[in-house]
């Protein structure tokens, strides 16, 4: 059996002038299976330099900072077409600022103070969008997911999927000590292989499952899916 190598973790830049808050962000990122912090900076000017040096995939950005604010950073990276996604975390709650941040294409907008779980949802939303946009063609329900923001994206199921079946598929993976095929999952929970595959693919996009490709000779490889555990904070 030959399994595909695991994908590299998403690279995260933390842009926050409060050292204690920045440390909390980094602590949470350490608990996420597919993310790692590559740089921590305290203002937008330093963030732009870090983007060039560290090549992050996503940044957690405060808006109000001395030495270069977050909105100025956002405008600059969009103007220069820098391939960086942004999660805003800020005390700014006025409608004008929120509207501009949304127009600049942020993944999510979190108003301080917020629970750590809410930031975890933002990272999951980023991963869902990024994985979905890697596909060459998207169905309408996938486009809908990409267009929604933040927690709404991960709470909304694509058309035709049921939460009860999704839960059963996820639990089947959690119980297994090895990667399972769609055939095996379907037999265990009593659904057709093609149905099980839809749910498994969705869990893969969500980051709740990891796909492995099993190759036997020259034929088409068979996908197997492994549960991705989420470690608690602290």
Torsion of Cα atoms, 108 then 132 then 124 then 73, to 10°: -40
Query: Which of 64-68, 102-106, 172-176, 202-206 is predicted least confidently?
Result: 202-206
Q: Which residue has the higher pLDDT, 59 or 44?
A: 59
The first and second tokens of residue 194, run together, are 């093609």
Q: Which residue has the higher pLDDT, 169 or 223?
A: 169
Q: Which of 103, 207, 217 is nearest to 226 (CA)?
A: 207
State the DSSP string of 108-143: EEEESS--HHHHHHHHHHHHHHHHHTTSSS--HHHH
pLDDT category of residue 54 using cuts at 50, 70 and 90: very high
Q: So what's the pLDDT on residue 71? A: 92
pLDDT of residue 151 exceeding 70, the answer is: no
pLDDT in tens, 81-134: 998 999 999 998 999 999 999 999 898 999 988 888 788 888 888 888 888 888
Average pLDDT, the chain: 84
Query: Which domains are assigned to the chain?
Result: 10-132 (3.40.50.2300), 157-227 (1.10.10.10)
């Amino acid at each position: 059996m030959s399994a595909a190598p695991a994908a590299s973790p998403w690279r995260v830049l933390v842009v926050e002038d409060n050292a204690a808050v920045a440390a909390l962000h980094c602590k949470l990122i350490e608990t996420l299976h597919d993310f790692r912090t590559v740089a921590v900076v305290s203002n937008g000017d330093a963030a732009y330099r870090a983007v060039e040096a560290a090549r992050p995939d996503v940044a957690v950005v405060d808006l109000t900072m001395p030495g270069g604010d977050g909105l100025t950073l956002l405008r600059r990276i969009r103007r220069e077409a820098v391939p960086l996604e942004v999660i805003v975390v800020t005390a700014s709650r006025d409608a004008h600022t929120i509207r501009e941040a949304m127009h600049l294409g942020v993944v999510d907008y979190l108003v301080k103070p917020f629970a750590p779980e809410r930031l975890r949802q933002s990272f999951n939303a980023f991963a869902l969008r990024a994985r979905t946009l890697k596909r060459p063609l998207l169905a309408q329900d996938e486009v809908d997911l990409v267009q929604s923001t933040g927690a709404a994206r991960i709470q909304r199921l694509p058309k035709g999927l049921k939460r009860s079946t999704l839960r059963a598929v996820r639990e089947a993976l959690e119980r297994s000590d090895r990667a399972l095929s769609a055939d095996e999952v379907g037999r265990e929970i009593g659904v057709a292989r093609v149905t099980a595959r839809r749910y498994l693919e969705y869990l893969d996009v969500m980051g709740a499952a990891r796909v492995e490709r099993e190759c036997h000779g020259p034929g088409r490889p068979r996908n197997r899916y492994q549960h991705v555990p989420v470690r608690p904070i602290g």
